[in-house]
Amino acid sequence: MARRAGVSTATASRVLNRSAPVSEDALARVETAVRDLGYVRQRAQSVGARATGAVAVVVFEDMIHYWSDVFYSRLLVGVERALLHGEQELVVLTASRRARRPSLLRYLCGGHVDGVLLVGPRGDDSLPRLIRAAGVPVVSLGRPMAPGDLPYVDADNLGGAAGAVDHLLRSGRRTVGTIAGPPDMSVGADRLRGYLRAVREAEGPVRETVAYGDFTVASGEHAMIRLLELRPGLDAVFAASDLMAAGALRTLQRLRIRVPEQVALVGFDDDAVACRIRPLLTTVRQPVEEMGARAVAELLGQARGSGQDQGQVVMETTLVLRDSA
């Protein structure tokens, strides 16, 4: 750290420990080195180190999406129920992908929590690696995009998406489009891979068409317009979330396109919105609450050193047939 900042080790120590005043120039250089190197204070590993009684959940999403998507509240219900058995407290933090987060890293690695659950880390994010390097137990809810050995719990997004598209194809639909999620999130990438696999393995010619959304209703509306522009003869759509499917349905109804007679529609998640819209939405159910509970079990196993770090846990999904397809 001192070499990077161009100061003595004593000066770097005074800045990091806030033990004595230093010049403004030295302070700025050390703080820049802290950001550049991703420095965090090493978590104490001594026997008898006191547990904090708290587990942090970090949601990689901005506040608007966090509050509008019921997936996160369902997930936190599962996490909180699992923590009640051990009397741990739950700390929830959001981390917008557009902001640098040195203060978040210092908090998570500064001995304030016993472990960290990461929800939807992005492909280029270094936070998971830095947390683990600091010795803090960590589990990702969602397959990490970056290669490595970070433990995770996820739904079978690829298989669930492929099964949904296969259902559309077996019902006689031949021009099946998809509204995919963000490609820098594993949930978006895996559901798109499932769609492409089903289309490419189908018997007979099937036209694939892809538009992208961000898991919101509004993005589903815009993506549906884009699909119709790309493929006017579209007869089925697989949306990578129920909220985007609800947006797609708005567009279809506004254009007086009948669902499912003219265009069949399938979502993913089995959120409450699937039973609020008409026609009722055929969708892929993922065990959200169970995923949260399983992630807690994996995390606490790490913290206790009980050898429960299994690395990769993928939970089954189920196609729920309703009226839209």
Q: What is the pLDDT of residues 282-312, one digit of tens each?
A: 999 999 999 999 999 888 888 776 555 557 8
State CA 190 to chain mean position distance: 12
137 or 249, which is more confident? 249
How far apart (Å, rounded) are the C-alpha atoms in residues 139 and 314? 13
Domain that residue 59 falls in: 54-154+289-315
Same domain, 137 and 148: yes
Assess contact for 110 and 48: CB atoms under 8 A. no
Residue 269 pLDDT > 60? yes
Same domain, 161 and 278: yes
Residue 230 pLDDT > 60? yes
Read off the pLDDT of residues 166-213 as tens digits, 9 standing for 90 and up: 999 999 998 999 999 999 889 999 999 999 999 999 887 788 899 999
Same domain, 117 and 220: no
Assess contact for 196 and 208: CB atoms under 8 A. yes
DSSP H helices in 70-185: 70-84, 102-108, 127-133, 157-170
Amino acid identity of residue 245, one-letter, is A
Assess contact for 153 and 139: CB atoms under 8 A. yes
Question: For residue 47, is it within any domain?
Answer: no
Read off the pLDDT of residues 21-73 as tens digits, 9 standing for 90 and up: 888 888 888 888 877 776 766 544 433 445 778 899 998 887 877 887 888 89
Question: For residue 267, is it within any domain?
Answer: yes
Residue 262 pLDDT > 80? yes
Q: Which of 104-113, 117-126, 186-195, 215-224 has the lowest average pLDDT?
A: 117-126
pLDDT of residue 45: 46
Assess contact for 173 and 264: CB atoms under 8 A. yes
> What Rg do the C-alpha atoms of the chain give, in angstroms?
23
How far apart (Å, rounded) are the C-alpha atoms in residues 114 and 71? 24
pLDDT average, residue stretch 72-101: 81
Same domain, 296 and 188: no
pLDDT of residue 2: 87
- Which pTM does this prediction carry? 0.80
Distance set, CA 101 to CA 60, 94, 126, 130, 145 (Å): 11, 10, 10, 12, 19
- Per DSSP, 305 falls in state T
pLDDT of residue 41: 61
Distance set, CA 223 to CA 119, 181, 318 (Å): 25, 10, 25
Q: Which of 322, 17, 316 is nearest to 157 (CA)?
A: 316
How far apart (Å, rounded) are the C-alpha atoms in residues 61 and 181? 14
pLDDT of residue 40: 64
Most confident of 98-112, 124-138, 266-280: 266-280
Question: For residue 45, is it within any domain?
Answer: no
Same domain, 184 and 269: yes
pLDDT of residue 52: 76
Residue 313 pLDDT > 60? yes
pLDDT of residue 258: 96
pLDDT average, residue stretch 66-94: 86
Mean pLDDT of the chain: 86
pLDDT of residue 51: 72
pLDDT of residue 294: 93
Question: For residue 297, is it within any domain?
Answer: yes
CATH number of the CATH domain containing 310: 3.40.50.2300
Cross-strand partners of 283: 267, 320
**Separate counts of helices (H) and strands (E) for the chain:** 12, 12
Assess contact for 217 and 274: CB atoms under 8 A. no
* Percent above pLDDT 70 for the chain: 91
How far apart (Å, rounded) are the C-alpha atoms in residues 233 and 176? 10
pLDDT of residue 214: 92
Same domain, 144 and 257: no
Question: For residue 46, is it within any domain?
Answer: no
Give the total number of structural domains in the chain. Answer: 3
Confidence band of 150 (pLDDT split at 50, 70, 90): confident
Same domain, 210 and 266: yes
How far apart (Å, rounded) are the C-alpha atoms in residues 69 and 272? 10
pLDDT of residue 225: 97
Same domain, 59 and 22: no
Same domain, 277 and 200: yes
CA angle at residue 58 from 53 to 62, to 5 degrees? 145
pLDDT of residue 64: 79
Same domain, 161 and 275: yes
Using DSSP, state whether 262 is helix, strand or coil. Answer: coil
Assess contact for 185 and 123: CB atoms under 8 A. yes
Residue 268 pLDDT > 70? yes
Question: For residue 236, is it within any domain?
Answer: yes
Question: For residue 322, is it within any domain?
Answer: no
Residue 20 pLDDT > 90? no
Using DSSP, state whether 152 is helix, strand or coil. Answer: strand
Same domain, 147 and 294: yes
Confidence band of 101 (pLDDT split at 50, 70, 90): low
Same domain, 234 and 294: no
Question: For residue 323, is it within any domain?
Answer: no
